[in-house]
Chains A and B, each alone.
Chain A
Amino acid sequence: MKKTMLKVVVYAVMVAALGWMAGGRTHLFAAAGGPVEIKIDNYSFTPGDITVAAGTTVTWVNRDDVPHTVRNNDGTLKSKALDTDDKFSMTFDKPGTYEYFCSIHPKMTAKVVVK
């Protein structure tokens, strides 16, 4: 149990360091389980690229006057069309890089990196 906790802390520090080094695009960090919210506004995901620990639940909320979706190519992310103020949540248990986009406005792209 203690080992697991230590692992989480080490990961969190590593993730934070990586994020700090990456700079440029918006990054957000969360400890495992701490929920993260991504706002969809002005045809973009904010924050855009994020890095989270495995087990984190990410919620997208649409603040635009037009519908958007959160989808990826392999179907692991597949929201229905989100109308204004609609939300979509996903818990990321498996580490990996999840690139996603709005299938209605495909210029809108971002990714969730799960460590």
Chain B
Amino acid sequence: MSDFIKDNLNSDGVDRRGFLKCMAWAGTGTFCLIQGGVLKSFALSDIANRGLAAAKGELSFVQLSDSHIGFDKAANPDVTATLDAAIAKVNALETPPEFVLHTGDLSHLSKPSEFDTLDQRLKSMRTDKIFYVPGEHDVLNDDGAQYRERYGKGTKGDGWYSFDQKGVHFIGLVNVMNLKAGGLGNLGKDQLEFVEDDVKHLKSSTPIVVFAHIPLWSVYPEWGWGTDDGAQALGYLKRFGSVSVLNGHIHQIMQKVEGNVTFHTAMSTAFPQPQPGTAPSPGPMKVPADKLRALLGVTDVNFVRGKNTLAVVDSTLA
């Protein structure tokens, strides 16, 4: 279903009421272009025809996710090699990313040696800065103390923060701590207050990018793929014309557009997970070795100022 979002949607861009929900999967690269709040999407292979250059904007960054350094099971016995392949993919981009967002599960078991390996590998990536948010695998046994020591300097609370880059406001959130029995991802009262306060001073025309590990929207609650108080956080962003939410955790591409908000999840660099409900559990999915890299990947995001345009390109490692 790589063509799940047709590019003939309402092109009005002002009245979005008729076009608010679309949600589906893509096993291969997908290109999305958001113009005036309207999402257009087509297969990655079409980009050559349409001209990728047109999508390159003033701000270009990359999302990496779910590296799971330390994982060595059948679904991918060498996650360091596939991380290296992802880094090579980024380094081969025509426009080097100004920065990289890693949306968590850097490690598999929060071991110092796993973080060390990740750090060492990421040194070879051609970018100025890497921003992180933790996954649940990064905060095992110590409530995230080690994670914050390594990656969370200058952040608030469990490791949340915001920053501005070329007129775009970025908010990094932590929804993998203090999880409640039977519940989903969790932001908590302090973090919700942070979000509310953080955007108060911003003009409604400011493009917002929110990134966190677990999807902030309800992808598949049966497998814990959602965040209990995610809707509340997004409620504070209602007045903004362009909100993009970038998540990881589910090791596959999923997208949804709801009003002014575009949701997107990235592929893992380590191993794929099954589509919701297609397996007894969301555990690592074993595929033939020659198929693995087609299910892993990186996400390239470009923003064109003035056009209110955000372009998201997912590329597999195959």
Point out residues on A near B: beta carbons under 8 Å.
42-44, 64-67, 69, 72-73, 80-81, 83-84, 99-101, 103-107, 109
- With both chains docked as a complex, state the minimum distance between the C-beta of B17 and any C-beta of chain A, in angstroms: 34
**In the bound complex, CA of A78 to CA of B306 (Å):** 53
Identity of the chain B residue whose Cβ is nearest the Cβ of A66 in the assembled complex: B283
Q: Report Cα–Cα, A100/B181, bound state, in Å.
A: 7
Interface residue stretch chosen among B18-26, B133-141, B153-161, B194-202: B133-141
Using a CB–CB distance below 8 Å, which chain B residues touch chain A? 71, 73-75, 108-110, 136-137, 140-141, 179-184, 221-224, 280-284
A-B contact pairs, 30 of them (CB 8 A): A42-B281, A42-B283, A43-B282, A64-B281, A65-B71, A65-B73, A65-B74, A65-B283, A66-B108, A66-B283, A67-B109, A67-B137, A80-B141, A81-B109, A81-B110, A81-B141, A84-B73, A101-B181, A101-B182, A104-B136, A104-B137, A104-B140, A106-B180, A106-B182, A106-B183, A106-B184, A106-B224, A107-B183, A107-B184, A107-B221
Which residues of the partner chain A approach B184 to less than 8 Å between Cβ atoms? 106-107
Q: How far is the CA of A99 from the CA of B182 in the complex (A)?
A: 11
Q: How far is the CA of A81 from the CA of B138 in the complex (A)?
A: 11
Choose among B75, B136, B280 the residue with the greatest number of A CB atoms under 10 Å from its CB. Answer: B136
Which B-chain residue is minimally distant from A69 (CB atoms)? B140
Bound together, the chains give a CA A106 to CA B228 distance in angstroms of: 12
Which residues on A sit within 8 Å (CB–CB) of B281?
A: 42-44, 64
Question: What total of A-B pairs shows CB separation below 8 Å?
Answer: 61
A101 to B109, CA, bound (A): 18
Tell whether, in the assembled complex, residue B181 and residue A42 are in contact, meaning their CB atoms are under 8 Å apart: no
Contact of B109 among A64, A83, A100, A103 (CB under 8 A): A83
User: Cβ of B74: which chain A residues have Cβ within 8 Å of it?
Assistant: 65
Q: Considering only CB atoms, which chain A residue lies closest to B140 in the complex?
A: A81
Contacts of B71 in A (CB 8 A): 65
A46 to B225, CA, bound (A): 22
Nearest Cβ in chain B — how far from A115, in angstroms? 22
- B139: nearest residue on chain A (CB-CB)? A104
DSSP class of A's interface residues: helix, strand, loop or mixed? Answer: loop
Chain B residues lying within 8 Å of A100, measured Cβ to Cβ, are 181
Q: Contact between A43 and B283 (Cβ–Cβ < 8 Å)?
A: yes
User: What residues of chain A lie closer than 8 Å to B284, measured between beta carbons?
Assistant: 65-66
Pick the most buried of B73, B74, B221, B222: most chain A CB atoms within 10 A of its CB.
B73
A107: nearest residue on chain B (CB-CB)? Answer: B224
Q: How far is the CA of A64 from the CA of B281 in the complex (A)?
A: 10
Whether A107 touches B75, Cβ cut-off 8 Å, given contacts A43-B283, A83-B109, is: no
Residues of B within 8 A of A65 (CB): 71, 73-75, 283-284
Instruction: Name the B residues within 8 Å of A80 (CB-CB).
Output: 140-141
The docked-state distance in angstroms from the alpha carbon of A73 to that of B179 is 10
Residue of B74, B281, B282 ringed by the most chain A CB atoms within 10 A: B281
> Judging by beta carbons under 8 Å apart, are A64 and B283 in contact?
yes
Instruction: With both chains docked as a complex, state the minimum distance between the C-beta of A53 and any C-beta of chain B, in angstroms.
Output: 25
| Chain A residues whose CB sits within 8 angstroms of the CB of B282 once the complex forms | 43
Assembly CA distance A109 to B136 (angstroms) = 17
- Residues in A neighbouring B180, C-beta threshold 8 A: 106
Q: In the complex, what distance in Å separates the CA atom of A48 from the CA atom of B140?
A: 23
Known: A65-B284, A81-B140, A106-B184. 14 other contacts (CB 8 A): A43-B223, A64-B281, A64-B283, A66-B284, A67-B140, A69-B140, A80-B140, A81-B109, A101-B181, A104-B137, A106-B183, A107-B182, A107-B222, A109-B181
